[in-house]
């Protein structure tokens, strides 16, 4: 969540994201996340709505979908954003990020990342982190780990969600990661962009994401 709307109270600039939990027999109970200015989100794939092209119906595996997007702004901007950039050379103010998550109860999940407006040709690292973004790049905490560990060898793309990408000639990038596990509730809260791929690199920017926690 984004705090600090002092000075512009009374102006509500859009709900940021929402998630839909898909119940097998046609009932949808939605968890609606909200989170600050500068973004819009949508839920899609409610069972039986017939309008999204996704499968729906009585046989559908119970699951969820989440999508959120934002525009990066430096900490302390007049209009706060869920997307915070700490390095406006590599993640310019106004650049765009979208994160989606979809998965099934007891099954796996896919997390995707799309960005535009970044530095063409640059190779970025990206991971899911444990805590929401803040004014300090360290605020997002460590990487989410499926098996929590202090062993550096466990900081890998199987035990964590890595979304490294290379920005194309237009500054756009995308990545996707599938795991056969789901996040524990409340333990995954942001996507951090790093200056290098892998397990290295300074924290360039951070996007607070209302990930669905499904695992016990």
Residues that bind Cu ion (CB under 5 A): 127, 192
The number of residues making up the chain comes to 216
Least separation in angstroms between CB 57 and Cu ion: 38
Least separation in angstroms between CB 129 and Cu ion: 6
Least separation in angstroms between CB 188 and Cu ion: 12
By C-beta, is 56 or 192 nearer to Cu ion?
Answer: 192
By C-beta, is 116 or 130 nearer to Cu ion?
Answer: 130
CA separation for the pair 73, 93 (Å, rounded): 5
By C-beta, is 141 or 213 nearer to Cu ion?
Answer: 141
Least separation in angstroms between CB 169 and Cu ion: 25
Which residue, judged by CB position, is nearest to Cu ion in the bound state?
A: 127
By C-beta, is 113 or 192 nearer to Cu ion?
Answer: 192
By C-beta, is 56 or 113 nearer to Cu ion?
Answer: 113
Least separation in angstroms between CB 17 and Cu ion: 20
């Amino acid at each position: 969540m984004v705090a600090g709307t002092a000075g512009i109270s009374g102006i509500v600039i859009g709900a940021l994201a929402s998630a839909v939990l898909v119940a097998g027999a046609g009932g949808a109970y939605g968890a609606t996340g909200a989170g600050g200015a500068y973004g819009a989100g949508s839920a899609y794939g409610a069972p039986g709505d017939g309008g999204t092209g996704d499968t729906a119906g009585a046989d559908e595996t119970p699951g969820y979908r989440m999508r959120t997007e934002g525009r990066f702004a430096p900490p302390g901007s007049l209009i706060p954003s869920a997307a915070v950039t700490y390095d406006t050379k590599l993640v310019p103010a106004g650049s765009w990020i979208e994160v989606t998550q979809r998965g099934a109860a007891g099954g796996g999940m896919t997390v995707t990342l799309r960005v535009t407006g970044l530095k063409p040709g640059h190779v970025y690292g990206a991971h899911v982190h444990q805590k929401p973004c803040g004014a300090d790049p360290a605020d997002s905490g460590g990487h989410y780990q499926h098996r929590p560990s202090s062993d550096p060898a466990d900081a890998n793309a199987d035990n964590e969600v890595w979304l490294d990408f290379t920005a194309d000639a237009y500054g756009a990038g995308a990545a996707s990661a599938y795991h056969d596990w789901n996040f524990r509730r409340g333990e995954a809260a942001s996507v951090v962009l790093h200056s290098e791929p892998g397990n290295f690199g300074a924290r360039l920017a951070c996007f607070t994401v209302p990930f669905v926690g499904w695992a016990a």
